Structure 1
């Protein structure tokens, strides 16, 4: 529906016909007919304002007519008793307030940026030199909602021994802790060998088994005092 047809509908709903509406607002019938025939955009703004005042709507409701929901609502409003119009207006105002409050709340839902250590890698294959990795440590700012609770460092997985769960080149968060439960994935330092990422199992004979997820890799076995847990991978 174009703007002119919409305006004509509102006028007829309000007064029955264009002539009666023109008389009610003190405007020449021919002026309103001309606006409806030649187009609203060609009319004088003061005439549009006077017509809209008579209909109880805002000029922008006509000039910027885009939504059929808005236009249909205006038609219904004109047919309601003033007391019912007020109820509709109050409800719409409450909905707008609720919408604006939701926008404000969503702004505060975003967690602040978090500075977290990053840049180091862990092997997911053969262990890598931990001392060399220390020189690569940097601090990175990450959006708070992307950082899991308890995360202490972001580490890059270098190797495929923990695939398909941890892909080569992917990044994982770890929580620093000296011990983990059997079967949990940990970043460990093996004395005189280096750092690696494996599932860890402590055996009754005081040895540790480091196990890959990728079955192409064999288990690794060490004495307990040769393995130091750096932290647990947060999944």
Structure 2
């Protein structure tokens, strides 16, 4: 299925016919038919925006169209009344939160996140093994793979003691990124640096020295902090 076929099916699903759809959005039927025949990419952006608005989708969704489950959901969703569309939206948001380890409370002001232990901003910690602990969290929760709590002040002012931070899993890090790392079998949050002096894990608080990365120390990267 291409974009134009998908677009036509959405129009027919919501309005019965392409002609009815064109009348509803006040674009000439010949213009809409031309877009379906000649291709979306050849159409004026103004017309595409109006068509997408009439179908309840975004131009980005249309231009990035693929024959996917999302397209099938959209085709059904446009046929629902507004109340049922709100139910679909709420369910989708719940699924997204569960995927990102977020549990929303009824007031929508506080969430709980799954925290996998603590990482040191000082002398080293050990991440939890097994079941994480659910911890209350206020604020926006970014897309992440796991969360940890900071212990210590070596990463102030960016990361404060007892702050929850969110992490995307990766085994590699770019220069200057904040990483969660196992250094000699203890877990840290530090800034990864690579320059003419070699590689090291750096504390932002100058009271603490760097952790040198060389053959004498064991290092594993768990992930990078999502800011």
TM-score scaled to structure 2, two decimals? 0.49
- State which structure, 1 or 2, has the greater radius of gyration over its C-alpha atoms: 1
TM-score scaled to structure 1, two decimals? 0.48
Greater fraction of residues in helix: 1
